[in-house]
């Protein structure tokens, strides 16, 4: 596992420690982290503050995103995938898609390269969270 996915997992763990949903993300350009973020829907009572959205918000205005890669511990949903496509982020590396299949086909249909690492650590983190707090999870994915 590379340092960028480790940083995304650290962000997911930070969210969990704050009482939130354990999903983390980092944005990388030229082999350096530009920004990081984590799901803050619970912490900030903000329905669109998924991990990827928080990360991109923290990146601020960086001009073009075409030469960036976004890492996420979980396959992005359609909202986050739409932002990835809109900003022309060319590559997404995810920790897993077992607990949530997300919008992989949508991103790929728009030319985004998607790499699913299928990491046991990410799968176990989400399975444990979903088992312990299903109401927060189903609210997060719009299935409440």
Residues with catalytic roles: 52
Q: Which residue has the tokens 């030469």?
A: 67
> What residues contact 4, with CB distance under 8 A and at least 6 apart?
26, 28, 33, 69, 71, 93
45, 48, 49, 52: CA torsion to nearest 10:
170
Instruction: Please state the φ and ψ torsions of residue 21, each to the nearest 5 degrees.
Output: -85, 130
Token pair in block for residue 65:
């995103």
Q: Distance between CA 67 and CA 9 in Å, rounded?
A: 22
């Amino acid at each position: 596992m590379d340092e960028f996915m480790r940083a995304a997992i650290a962000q997911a763990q930070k969210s969990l420690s704050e009482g939130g949903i354990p999903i983390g993300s980092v944005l990388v350009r030229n082999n350096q982290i530009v920004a990081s973020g984590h799901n803050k829907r619970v912490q900030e009572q903000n329905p669109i503050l998924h991990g990827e959205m928080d990360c991109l918000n923290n990146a601020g205005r960086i001009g073009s995103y075409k030469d960036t890669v976004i890492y996420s511990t979980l396959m992005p949903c359609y909202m986050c995938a739409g932002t990835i496509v809109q900003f022309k982020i060319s590559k997404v590396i995810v920790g897993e898609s077992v607990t949530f299949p997300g919008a992989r086909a949508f991103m790929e249909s728009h030319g985004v390269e998607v790499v699913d690492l299928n990491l046991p650590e990410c799968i176990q983190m989400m399975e444990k969270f979903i088992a312990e707090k299903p109401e927060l999870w189903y609210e997060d994915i719009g299935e409440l």
